Amino acid sequence: MNGPEIFKLTRLTGVWLCLVFLPVWGASWAVGILIPNILSELGKESSSQSLFMFISDLCKLLTPILSILVFIPINAMFMVLFERRALAIFTVRMGPNRTGFDGLAQTAADAVKLLFKEDITPTGADALLFTLAPIIFFAPSIFGALPLLAAITGNHELFQIVNLPTGVFYILAAASLPVVALVMAGWSSNNKYSLVGGLRAAAQAVSYEIPLVLALVTVCLMAGSLDVVKIAEQQAGGILNWNILGGGALTGLDKAIPALISGNSAEWSATLAKYYPHGFLSALATVALTISSFILCGLYLTSACAEINRIPFDLPEAESELVSGYNTEYSGIKFAIFFLAEFTNLFIVSSIATVMFFGGGGNPIPQWILAMLPMEQISAMMNSLLDIPINKLQLLDPKTFWNAFWVIVKVYSIVFFAVLVRGTLPRFRIDQLMDFGWKRLVPLALITFMVVVFARVAVVCHAG
Amino acid sequence: MSTQEATPNALPKLKTDEMVINMGPQHPATHGVLRMVLTLDGEWVRHAEAVLGHLHRAQEWQGQNRTWFQYQALIDRVDYLSGMFTSWALCRTAEVLEEQTIPERAEWLRVMVSEMNRISSHLLWLGTYLIDLGAMFGFPFYPFREREKLLDLFEEVAGQRMMFNYIRIGGVQRDPKATWFQRLRKFTEEFNDRVDEYEAIVTENPIFLRRTKGVGILPLSLAKEFGVTGPSLRGSGSNLDLRKTKPYSVYPKLDFNVQWLDKPEGGDTWDRYILRIREMRESNRIIQQCLDMIPEGPVITKKQIAGLRVKAGEGFSAVESPRGILGCYVTSNGSDKPVRFRWRNPSFCNLSVCGKLLENHPIADIMAIFGSIDVILPDVDR
């Protein structure tokens, strides 16, 4: 163990998380709450009240977009630095520790460097497609993330507008777009390595989208909804309700445990009978659901890794084979956009996993443990202490705050896991990659799908 | 609707073409400046040809135009990962010409430092090989941790971390301190555990096995045809190791085994990997024995001066370097400059077989195979 380095990484994470989320929080509050409130105050005395109303509504509508636009670049900077420092710890190195205080400003400096670099279009390249490719690569990661915003803020009224009844479908549609950009980038660069990289990206994305979609579809089947907010809300109330553990099959147990603790055996058996109506078959189905949803989470994380081209599936940009794959010829700001989008995709994939499998913004502590603590008193005390920011300024909404807190913890844990994988595994070969996708993951996904279809009948799940 | 029958012959034939790719010399994975001209059919290599000479520094010519004393310092650069072996080959040839025997302690020191050098070379190979396989950031730096310790030891004894110039004609440069031996002993004691660590991560890693098992099979006949030596040859069913087959220095007094696999049908890249791992353990054993058995005494016959002369005649000697047999041929006319130099470099012969090995493998295997041969480009071009 490398104590000092781990401490430095923790410090860096803390500082940068503040740098990432305070601006987002502030911007959302300013545009979504402060300005509309001021406008409506002014509008009361003004003659043109409807104009003020219109502008204040427009501000509210723009809040989700604004928060994402503020969030993505800063977050990507943080994630690059986080990955470099964490990898340095795994690989007995130091990592960037000079720029700014202990390397905190390294990625900011890198970003500035990339912005000022010459933007080269190679001879013989298709200039239009060459320029469009990074944009098309980056755009889906912005609008694909929108429905998630409602789910991870606990359906805050400012973000309800971006929620869709078919959110999962929309996210998947957006997630399948970037591959077009990769093929475009590979082809338009007029470079053979880029071309091979682009073609690899296409083959890989097509093969791994199937297990990815099957995994998410099975979760939607368990939840009985395509609405990400609904899926996240169903999982509230502790770790036993999360989709990674049975997709609601353990909810009955979660509900029955308080009765067991208080010694009320009649209520215990009544609750169990309500949620597990078929006795032994229900128990069997619960076990099956728990195992298969765990597998589904693994399937999702594996194929998501392949979707966003991370080690061990980073074949489109395999450094030791294809120099840098599809982005070999890119430099300056275009390369920066590719880089930005890659890390944003990692973040979005982790947020999807959080919402679909890890209970969204819900805390992992079961309700019956929370019930033992004086939570009411604590929250009342906090409310009176922070009266001004919570009630007067509406700067701090406790529900949204805790949602965001747990989302941050969960998402960055998954990101950390991805970094750990990157620090451990070698790369697949392209034919082995295809074998793994089509011969292992797709059948496994289909089998779990069938198991879930049948096992769900015997248990009262979230949807039931 | 026409009812035209779509027989296979009636379909327009899809036009496919082979693509020629110029891999290197700036490619990040060609270990320096190798240039390979690949003919690709999609992802598959149909023909591969190595183009040499990007790092040609006329080392042989330089030897003929410099004094023995000057050239000694230059020769470490030929194979910069195992400088001890190149200087050892040169010094042995000069000693053959001089018909001189060097002090006993110097022989032991030479064996010790060159086995250390073998370990450090193999460690670097292990790290870079995993980078070739795409483990870009994780494991590859751990072998460097051990290598650093060895380089520190080299630095203390030779004053340099890579270009040692430690082995001199007539002995070695200087006698290490007692603390140096203690540090080396400490290193050898914990080294096996470190290798166990590497093996725990790599040897049975499923992705690593998939990438290396059955890839780049080198049959014994092909290896002999191209003059492949070193671990690459021993992985294919030959036990040729100069330390045993043609013993030199104090190797006959040491107890060690030549690491080889009885696989005449051909060893794959995994075999070459495991051989190098075993060789490191064996070298470690040799160093431990040296530490126990090293006698006291002088380390060089006489202090070297700039006007060093070597007797007239022709001489050849070879040592077993980490990459194979390293031979040095010299013609001397008795002056302070040799007349003709000729090096037999293992990397050159080992690289020549690469083209044959790469045929009908996917692009991704190029680096898996090329890396497993363990080629040092300066050693190829000299």
Q: Where do the domains of chain A lie? A: 1-110, 117-458
Give the separation between CA A398 and CA A407, rounded to whole angstroms. Answer: 14
How confident is the prediction for chain B on average, in pLDDT? 84
Mean pLDDT of B158-183: 87
Give the H/E segment covering residue B67: none
**Structure tokens of B212?**
């290396």
**Strand pairing report for B44-51 and B35-41:** antiparallel
Q: What is the pLDDT of residue A448?
A: 92
Nearest CA in chain A to B215: A429
Is residue B8 over pLDDT 60?
no
Interface test with B, best of A83, A429, A430, A434 (most B CBs within 10 A): A429
Q: What is the pLDDT of residue A442?
A: 92
pLDDT digits (tens, 9 = 90+) for B209-253: 888 888 888 888 888 888 888 888 888 888 888 888 888 888 888
Q: What is the pLDDT of residue B2?
A: 44
Q: What is the pLDDT of residue B10?
A: 58
Give the H/E segment covering residue A334: helix A332-357
How far apart are the CA of B283 and the nearest CA of chain A, in angstroms?
A: 25
Is residue B343 over pLDDT 50?
yes
Give the separation between CA A282 and CA A464, rounded to whole angstroms. Answer: 14
Q: What is the pLDDT of residue B6?
A: 47
Q: What is the pLDDT of residue A446?
A: 92
**Strand pairing report for B171-172 and B167-168:** antiparallel
Mean pLDDT of B125-136: 81
Amino acid letter, A269 = S
Q: What is the pLDDT of residue B4?
A: 47
B22 phi, psi to nearest 5 deg: -100, 100
Interface test with B, best of A320, A417, A432 (most B CBs within 10 A): A320
Q: What is the pLDDT of residue B296?
A: 86
pLDDT digits (tens, 9 = 90+) for B183-202: 999 999 999 888 888 888 88
Residue with tokens 């275009």, as numbered in its chain: A334
B80's CB contacts (< 8 A; 6+ apart) are B162, B163, B376, B378
Which sign does the torsion angle of CA B74, B78, B83, B87 carry? Answer: negative
Using CB atoms, which residue from B28, B207, B363 is nearest to A319?
Answer: B28
pTM for this prediction:
0.83
pLDDT digits (tens, 9 = 90+) for B22-62: 887 877 777 778 888 888 887 788 888 888 888 888 888 88
Residue B365 in contact with residue B268, Cβ under 8 Å? Answer: no
Residue numbers in chain A where pLDDT is lower than 50: none
**Structure tokens of A241?**
């309700």
Residue A204 in contact with residue A428, Cβ under 8 Å? Answer: no
Q: CA nearest B88: which of B64, B113, B105, B65?
A: B113
Judged by a CB distance cut-off of 8 A, whether residue A60 touches chain B is no
Check B363 against A323: CB less than 8 A apart: no
Using CB atoms, which residue from B27, B138, B211 is nearest to A424?
Answer: B138
Give the separation between CA A79 and CA A350, rounded to whole angstroms. Answer: 12
Q: What is the pLDDT of residue B138?
A: 60
B9's CB contacts (< 8 A; 6+ apart) are none
Q: What is the pLDDT of residue B119?
A: 92
Q: CA nearest B98: which of B344, B341, B338?
A: B338
Amino acid letter, A325 = G
